[in-house]
Every structure is written in structure tokens, then in C-alpha cells.
Amino acid sequence: MNSTIRELLSKHGGLPIAVDKLADADDLYEAGLSSFASVQLMLALEEEFDVEFPENLLNRKSFSSIVSIADALSQITDDRQVA
């Protein structure tokens, strides 16, 4: 999952540095992720994983690192399996 996230991040994140220079836990906002880019990234993730981010995950925290994006995504897919 993380490699797909990285791929989409480099395509839509608009970061001033290369994504492979970032560790999974690095703060993406500190790396230059703007709120506009985070929305573009979110749309790309929704398309790629065929999910929809629920209201409670639409916040800064969910997009603060690759780890937290992966957490958010697995939360959504887990919920879907339960439902």
C-alpha cells in the first residue's frame, strides 16, 4: 500500500523534494504539502483504492504522513469488510 501512496504522492503532492527522500513517518506538511495538494492526493487515493474518505478522516491528521494515510486507508477498508 505504501508504495502506491508514494507513487500518488509524487504525482499529486507537489512537494519540492523527491518522495523517496521521505521516511514513512515524516511530516508531509513540513515537507511542503499544501492543503490544495492534499485534496488532490485524496481524490487520487479515492480513485485508486475505490474508496471514499468519510467525514471523520477528512482532516489534516489523516494526511500528515505516509503512515497516517495508510492508517486512514486501512481503517476505511476494514470498515467496509465489517459492513
Partner 1 sequence: MNIAGPVSAMTLAERARRAAKVAAEFADQVDTEGRFPREGMDALKAERLMGVMIRPELGGEAASMTEIADLCAILGQACASTAMTYAMHQIQIASLADYAVGSAWHEAFLKRICDEQLLIASATSEAGIGGNLRNSICAVDLDGETARLEKNATVISYGAMADAIIVTSRRNADAPHSDQIATLFLKEQYSLERTSVWDTLGMRGTCSDGYIFKAEAPAEQILPKPFAEIAAQSMLAVSHLLWGALWYGIAADAVARSQAFVKAAARKSPGQTPPGALRLAEASNLLQQVKANVVAGLKQFEAAKGDADALNAMSFSVAMNNIKVGTSQMILTIINHCMLICGIAAYKNGTPFSLGRHLRDAHSAQLMISNDRILGNTSTMLLVNKQDTSLLG
CB nearer to partner 1: pick between 9 and 33: 33
The reply to whether 54 sits near partner 1 by the rule CB under 8 A is yes
Q: Which residues contact 22 (CB under 8 A, 6 or more apart)?
A: 15, 28, 31, 66
Q: Which residues contact 56 (CB under 8 A, 6 or more apart)?
A: none
Show the site string, 63-82: x = touches partner 1 by CB under 8 A, - = not: --------------------
Of positions 2, 25, 58, 78, contacts partner 1 by CB under 8 A: 58
Rounded Cα distance between 80 and 16, Å, is 35
Of positions 36, 48, 74, 78, contacts partner 1 by CB under 8 A: 36
Q: Which residues contact 21 (CB under 8 A, 6 or more apart)?
A: none
Q: How far is the CB of 41 from partner 1 (least distance, A)?
A: 10
